[in-house]
Amino acid sequence: MVTGNGHINGGAASPSAVDQTVADAIAAADIYHSCGTTYLHIDNPLTTNSSAAMNHDANPTGAVVPLISLATTFRQNTPGEPMARSDPNSWGMGYEYSRTGNPTRGVFERAVAAAEKTKYCVAFSSGSAATSAVIHLLSPGEKVLSIDDVYGGTQRYFRKVVNPRMGIDVDFVDFGNEDEVQSKLKSGDGKIKLFWLETPTNPTLKVTCIRSVADLEKQNNALLAVDNTFCSPYFQNPAELGADLVVHSVTKYINGHSDVVMGVVCTNDEDIYKQLRFTQNGVGAIPSPFDCFLALRGLKTLHLRMEAAARNANAIALFLEKHDCVSKVVYPGLKSHPQHEIATRQQNGYGAMITFYCIGGREQAAKILQNLRVFALAESLGAIESLAESPSLMTHASVPDEQRKLLGIEDTLIRLSVGVESCVDLILDLDSALNAALSGVAVK
């Protein structure tokens, strides 16, 4: 039968019977893990009878998209008693001042929480601001144990701000190396209170078993934060695997159109949520209502964009793996990826990020990037257009040279964020750029 969330269970359908042909057609159409309804409606109108699910309370005008509320302050009928506490987008707080709560921001936060399958979500003006809010959960003298291959901006913040200026030590480790992890925990002397994980990592796409790290952090009375930007809520839900906090740069896949800078932190823990909300209001690093509107619009097509981009990425990864001018390709969907089995087990798909190493050196890598015509040479990722960059010279230039070498962030490494253009055009573009840049260079 057809269930309320769109799955086909076989047998008679409700409300009306369907034959196998129709059932097969429905199954073929619903390849999105039933995410589409959640992304568009937050509360499924077929399974939730609340007025919030029908948008009656939050949008009495009948408009089918949330309104952009630009008001900075809100009228009160009684001093100290904010209005609209019943509005689900106010998270039970009502509205008094837009830094504290905004209707447009509230509906976006509820939508991301639903997408990440968590109870709470708090939005910030950037992914870096979201990261900072998580660090604000700690106290001076406590420690962070972070994955070694981490976004360049995050490691820079950890090394140059958190460690020297906040009195919070940060150490880096490969969570896949049990001996190294245990050594770090032993030297941490019980002060490690936050595990910071990216999986897949940026830019080498290392995959770590979230559940294993979650078990470890609970044994050590700590918190686990997972930066889920590369997978998006569509391909991975870390909270279901034991993470206490899920962080996103909304700028990337959630928004998906290269026109918003924003971040979020999601959690199921009410106390953590309250602390994050306090920091959001106290520090004031909030996104604008218009940015929230745009990001919400982007979220509504996340499932469509992720599937299209991932199909392109899989084909491109296979193509690059066979190319004479490429020495190595790293993509979680390839069986050659060292953590392919972990990615298959904990993710719903392999994503649209690819890292590859070209033959030659820095000069050849630069020429490849300069010869691309469909891919744009630009930082960032996760948008509908395809982007290419050199992490050693761009996004991860702030990582110390010695650390870059240890992590494999070499001058020949090129990171691709695959978009939704024609797959044929993207492959032709890469082939042309590789051949032009490496003409006369010895190939494999």
Name the residues annotated as catalytic: 99, 151, 227, 252
The DSSP annotation for 222-259 comes to -EEEEE-TTTHHHH--GGGGT-SEEEEETTTTTT-SS-
Residue 320 in tokens: 């690059």
Task: Give 274's contacts (C-beta < 8 A, 6+ positions apart).
Answer: none
Cis peptide before 289 (omega within 30 of 0): no
Task: Give 65's contacts (C-beta < 8 A, 6+ positions apart).
Answer: 297
Cα(243)–Cα(215) distance, integer angstroms: 9
Cα(49)–Cα(186) distance, integer angstroms: 51
**Distances, alpha carbon 145 to alpha carbons 109, 127, 192, 380, 403, in Å:** 28, 19, 7, 25, 16
A 10 A CB-CB count for 185 gives 20
Q: Looking at residue 97, what DSSP letter applies?
A: B
Cα(27)–Cα(311) distance, integer angstroms: 18
Q: Looking at residue 415, what DSSP letter applies?
A: E
